[in-house]
A and B are shown apart, each in its own frame.
Chain A
């Protein structure tokens, strides 16, 4: 390793890193403090003498309680989770198979097909949601989680396919060939040799896909209508903003509660995520 002097380490490492941490996390602190701040303190202008934006002396859980009492927040959380998990699962399965085929098998028009799958990722959702509403109706999916579970893969599959295709390319062909010589079928080699090696890649594609579905707003807004079926982003926005009144405390409490569970799960996966991407992006 390169040896550094003490002050240098501060200037080049600790200070920038601290700034990054502050910059990244401040909005979260701000959400937290807004969520626990009593209403009376909330609306103090930027130059008010008694304004103490960074702390509060009377933290309250009233907003959180109100959020849980007034809305079906836990339901939303569950809905979002369920929809994200299932659509991610479907997309991963499709992406895994398609990615393997595109990376490893020779067949006519492979290049064209690969490109077209990727290109679907470029179609703007603002163009798609109206015709999609048509399809959702034809399949009688309106106001069911399946409306989202089946439409989210439209942007998840291209992504997963592409990422995993890259990953498969980094896995040496010899591994498969050895297995084939030992008598395994092509399919068997794929399932038993290649897929286990690709686990980090699958994980990182899964995490990314999960984040995208967790985030989605416009389809969820259009296709779901009952309050108890909504997802977190749509539910929070439609129940906590009333015309010219925002329930800031509840809104921020919702934002926070909506991201913390995922953050918790991610903290376990982050190392795999890094490892997985390493493989796939090399391809």
Chain B
């Protein structure tokens, strides 16, 4: 757009072309489509091909049909992983939504230092995940955990909690860290949504004798729903394909109890060199995400239509 000065009188041909809706659309879409075609379409097709082949590092494989998918499906570690991914995504999203909503409602008020607090709340979202997860790992450290120290000193525990050394605990710890990281995004975005809601509506409901919860449920929530769905869609995509957090926090251990699809695909594809199988495991994510997104977008359209 910088190339084309809008003084289009001097360039009648170009101007006429750009006034044609289809031509303009083609011009405007070209850069995005070009980049995506080169850097995603080809790798994606390659990825799908990998998943259908017996390729391993350095050995071009042959076509094996759905064998990689079947092998994964029958693999007990994969089954745990698949389940983990859902548990992780479900609870992390619920927590992020609930806490993010709560925080947004708090931040929507007027108080001193509001600007500062709002900016500070974004910090977990800004810091590179790899690095913040290292900080969390240090806090969960089996020997040096500050959390254990705190609970021990306050007399709440006598023996240390197995934050990352027990499979169930470790998965929940990962959920906590993910929530910590993603909650600010929810809060700020929902706050944005809240600010578009006319305070008079609240006032009116209040005069009608509605309590705080009723006001939220009947006035705020319906108006906030479209925003919420958008945020949730993004969060689910990010959480479902999460890699860095688990990779740093637990590496999938103990005993493969915290693997997510992305980390397990990485372990099989990269550490074991079975690229075909790794690609197949990655691809399990795709239809699931597609379904989730499709359902939510439909719901969103219906809300808009209503």
Give residues of chain A (109-156) contacting chain B, Cβ–Cβ below 8 Å. Answer: 110, 113, 117-128, 130-132, 134-135, 150-151, 153-154
Q: Does B149 contact A (CB under 8 A)?
A: yes
With a cutoff of 8 Å between Cβ atoms, the chain A residues found around residue B122 in the complex are 263, 266, 270
By secondary structure, the B interface counts as helix
With a cutoff of 8 Å between Cβ atoms, the chain A residues found around residue B241 in the complex are 122, 124-126
Contact between chains at B129 and A217 (CB < 8 Å): yes
What is the CA–CA distance of A88 and B22 in the complex, to the nearest angstrom?
A: 27
With a cutoff of 8 Å between Cβ atoms, the chain A residues found around residue B146 in the complex are 30, 46, 53-54
Contact between chains at A27 and B180 (CB < 8 Å): yes
Binds B, one of A58-66, A67-75, A231-239: A231-239
Which B residue's beta carbon lies closest to that of A20? B103
Q: Does B293 contact A (CB under 8 A)?
A: yes
What is the CA–CA distance of A155 and B131 in the complex, to the nearest angstrom?
A: 21
What is the CA–CA distance of A248 and B144 in the complex, to the nearest angstrom?
A: 12
Contact between chains at B47 and A128 (CB < 8 Å): yes
Which B residue's beta carbon lies closest to that of A241? B134
Give residues of chain A (5-37) contacting chain B, Cβ–Cβ below 8 Å. Answer: 12-13, 16-17, 20-21, 23-25, 27-28, 30-31, 34
Contact between chains at B125 and A187 (CB < 8 Å): no
Q: Does B282 contact A (CB under 8 A)?
A: yes
What is the CA–CA distance of A217 and B242 in the complex, to the nearest angstrom?
A: 12
Contact between chains at B32 and A106 (CB < 8 Å): no
Chain B: number of interface residues, binned into ranges = 35 or more
With a cutoff of 8 Å between Cβ atoms, the chain B residues found around residue A34 in the complex are 135, 138
Contact between chains at B129 and A101 (CB < 8 Å): no
Contact between chains at A127 and B128 (CB < 8 Å): no
Q: Does A278 contact B (CB under 8 A)?
A: yes
Q: Does A259 contact B (CB under 8 A)?
A: yes
What is the CA–CA distance of A110 and B50 in the complex, to the nearest angstrom?
A: 31
8 Å CB contact of A248 from B15, B138, B285: B138
Known: A43-B144, A125-B243, A259-B123. A157 touches B237 (CB 8 A): no
Q: Does A192 contact B (CB under 8 A)?
A: yes
Least distance between A16 CB and chain B CB atoms (Å): 6
Q: Does B195 contact A (CB under 8 A)?
A: yes
Which B residue's beta carbon lies closest to that of A195? B1
Give residues of chain B (115-156) contacting chain A, Cβ–Cβ below 8 Å. Answer: 115-132, 134-136, 138-139, 143-146, 148-150, 152
With a cutoff of 8 Å between Cβ atoms, the chain B residues found around residue A107 in the complex are 21-22, 25-26
Q: Per-position contact with A for B192-231: 1 when CB-CB < 8 Å, else 0?
A: 1101100100110010000010000000000000110011
Known: A93-B1, A131-B43, A281-B231. A126 touches B143 (CB 8 A): no
By secondary structure, the A interface counts as helix
Contact between chains at B50 and A130 (CB < 8 Å): yes
Which A residue's beta carbon lies closest to that of B248? A237
What is the CA–CA distance of A95 and B28 in the complex, to the nearest angstrom?
A: 9
Q: Does B189 contact A (CB under 8 A)?
A: yes
With a cutoff of 8 Å between Cβ atoms, the chain B residues found around residue A184 in the complex are 6
A-B contact pairs, 15 of them (CB 8 A): A24-B121, A30-B139, A34-B138, A47-B149, A117-B32, A117-B36, A120-B44, A124-B282, A124-B283, A130-B50, A135-B42, A154-B35, A184-B6, A211-B125, A281-B227
Given A130-B50, A185-B18, A270-B115, 8 more pairs with CB closer than 8 A: A2-B206, A46-B148, A53-B150, A101-B24, A107-B21, A108-B22, A188-B6, A277-B227
Q: Give B residues with C-beta under 8 Å from A.
A: 1, 4, 6, 8, 15, 18-19, 21-22, 24-29, 31-33, 35-36, 38-44, 46-47, 50, 99, 102-103, 106, 109, 111, 115-132, 134-136, 138-139, 143-146, 148-150, 152, 160, 180, 183-184, 188-189, 191-193, 195-196, 199, 202-203, 206, 212, 226-227, 230-231, 234, 237, 241, 243-244, 261-262, 265-266, 269, 275, 278-279, 282-283, 285-286, 289-290, 293
